[in-house]
Amino acid sequence: MTTRDKILEEALRLFSEKGYDGTSVESIAEAVGIKAPSLYKHFKGKEDILNCIIDVSEKRYSENFGSAHSVGKLPGSKEEFLKLSIERFSYTLNDPNIRRIRIFLTQEQFRNKRMADITNRHQMEDVQSLMVNMLGGMMETGVVKKDDPRLLAVELASPAVLMVSESDRLPDKRDEILKKFEEHIRHFCDVYFLK
């Protein structure tokens, strides 16, 4: 791991534990094991570190979860959709960096409008747009009943967002929450899928 990567990792850990304002450049440097002036060889300052963390996290999440612009291959059956949904949900719950950025953004959304906008985009708008595009495509291919894909996306995504939030508060219940999500997604499929 490069020094730059260590800075990003430790900064995210500290931001998620102490908040953005509660974390100094000095504390980040200390956690990495370098002096604060050395940190400036890699980043202009704390805001530059934050911007990089957000960019890296967004790219990573898009690659591993998908996005409204990158739905990937449409599932051709209920079983494919179940498998993909469970994989995505499990990734969201279990990836330590994604979990830290989510906790950090959730805390900071009440202190910083930019963080509120990013949190809303990630937790609601992007997930729902991805689901609208996926469900709409599966309606066109006859896998899902014809309906309003926007309403189905809300019905599908909203409980998942609540379950992710519960898992962040109660990490010891992660396995139980994953089972609860599986029940939710199976019920959704039983109601709306044709094949």
Shared-domain flag, residues 41 and 75 = no
Range(s) of the domain holding residue 18: 1-49
Count CB neighbours of 48 within 10 A. Answer: 12
Query: Is residue 44 scored above 90 in pLDDT?
Result: yes
Residue 61 lies in a domain: no
Which carries the bigger pLDDT value, residue 44 or residue 112?
44
145-157, pLDDT tens digit by residue?
999 999 999 999 9
Q: What is the pLDDT of residues 61-76, one digit of tens each?
A: 778 777 666 767 889 9
Residues 156 and 101 in one domain: yes
Would you state the pLDDT for residue 172? 95
Distance CA 187, CA 65 (A): 22
E strands, the chain, are: none
What is the number of domains present in the chain? 2
The answer to whether residue 168 scores a pLDDT higher than 70 is yes
185: left (phi over 0), alpha (psi -120 to 50) or beta: alpha
Q: Is residue 58 part of a domain?
A: no
Q: How confident is the model at residue 98 (pLDDT cuts 50, 70, 90)?
A: confident
155 and 75 both lie in a single domain: yes
CB 35 within 8 A of CB 56: no
- Collect all residues with Cβ–Cβ distance below 8 Å to 128 and sequence separation of at least 6: 150, 153, 154, 157
Report yes or no on 55 lying in a domain: no
Q: Are residues 38 and 70 in the same domain?
A: no
Residues 5 and 70 in one domain: no
In a domain, 60, yes or no: no
User: Which single residue is written with the structure tokens 């994989």?
Assistant: 87
Q: Is the pLDDT of residue 123 over 80?
A: no
Amino acid at 177: I
**The Cα angle at residue 28 between residues 26 and 32, in degrees rounded to 5:** 115
CATH number at residue 18: 1.10.10.60
